[in-house]
């Protein structure tokens, strides 16, 4: 989602290829403008994209978002600086990580993330912009500690079961709400950022 409207993506996972078209039906019905989308051979998934600030889009280059998709995004979003970062291989394409598996923005100057797997250039980009990182401890990475949904005004929604990450976010001034996600999140390996879609981006 961009300030000008929705950009239909093209998932790298074939089983998800029908999702953008299905979503567009609802977006168009409620009046969300729809822009040109990603075309073959390009792939791009929403989990690999987030805005570092109003004019800078961070993109994870991994098994689900490829170089062709990144170049198409760069052409489509001419007024936006696009910074691409290689994602870690970790457990390979079958269990691929999205960029938002590693980091979630909490506010304009705050994010939560798992530093050991973060791309170096992304860490530098955060520091250059004065964005503080609340670090997720090793033992809470696999339980989706970095997957946190910002609700505005330093409020956030997180999955239960990551008490130290929650404590660290609260120490940074974030009001953290949690939900019991054994079925909706842990069974499908999707945290709150995976399960939501913004309709408007200012």
Q: Is the link from the previous residue into 41 a cis peptide, with omega within 30 of 0?
A: yes
Give, as one character, the DSSP assignment of residue 72: H
Q: Give the mean model confidence (pLDDT) for residues 115-123.
A: 97
Task: Summarize pLDDT for 129-188 with one digit per residue, the tens.
Answer: 999 999 999 999 999 999 999 999 999 999 999 999 999 999 999 999 999 998 989 887
Domain 1-101 matches domain 104-202 at the CATH topology level? yes
Handedness of CA 57, 86, 150, 39 (dihedral sign): positive
Q: Is 126 helix (H, G, I), strand (E, B) or coil?
A: helix
Give alpha helix (H) positions in 77-200. Answer: 120-128, 163-171
- 178 token code pair: 């949690």
For residue 84, what pLDDT is reported?
Answer: 98
Query: What CA–CA distance (Å, rounded) separates 112 from 97?
Result: 16
Query: What CA–CA distance (Å, rounded) separates 12 from 30?
Result: 27
Q: What residue spans define the domains of the chain? A: 1-101, 104-202
Produce one character per residue of 66-91: b if its CB has 16 or more CB atoms within 10 Å, e if not: bebbbebbeebbeebebebbebeeee
Query: Does the pLDDT at position 202 exceed 70?
Result: no
Q: Are 50 and 73 in contact (CB under 8 A)?
A: no
Q: Are 27 and 198 in contact (CB under 8 A)?
A: no
- The architecture in CATH of the region 1-101 reads 5-stranded Propeller (3.75)
Q: Which fold has domain 104-202?
A: 3.75.10
Task: Summarize pLDDT for 33-85 with one digit per residue, the tens.
Answer: 999 999 999 999 999 999 999 899 999 999 999 999 999 999 999 999 999 99
- 145 token code pair: 């500690």
The enclosing H or E element of 22 equals: helix 19-29
């Amino acid at each position: 989602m961009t300030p000008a409207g929705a950009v239909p993506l093209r998932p790298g996972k074939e089983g998800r290829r029908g999702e953008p078209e299905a979503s567009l039906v609802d977006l168009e019905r409620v009046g969300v403008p729809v822009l040109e989308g990603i075309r073959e051979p390009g792939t791009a998934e929403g989990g690999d994209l987030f805005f570092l600030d109003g004019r800078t889009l961070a993109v994870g280059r991994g098994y689900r978002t490829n170089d062709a998709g990144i170049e198409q995004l760069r052409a489509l979003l001419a007024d936006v600086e696009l910074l691409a970062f290689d994602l870690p291989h970790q457990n390979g394409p079958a269990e691929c990580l999205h960029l938002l598996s590693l980091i979630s923005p909490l506010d304009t100057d705050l994010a939560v993330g798992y530093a050991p797997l973060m791309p170096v250039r992304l860490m530098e980009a955060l520091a250059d912009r004065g964005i503080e990182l609340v670090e997720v401890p090793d033992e809470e990475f696999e339980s989706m500690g970095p997957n946190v949904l910002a609700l505005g005004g330093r409020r956030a929604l997180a999955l239960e079961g990551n008490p130290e990450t929650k404590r660290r976010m609260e120490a940074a001034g974030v009001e953290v709400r949690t939900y019991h996600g054994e079925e909706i999140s842990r069974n499908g390996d999707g945290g709150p950022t995976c399960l939501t879609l913004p309709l408007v981006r200012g």
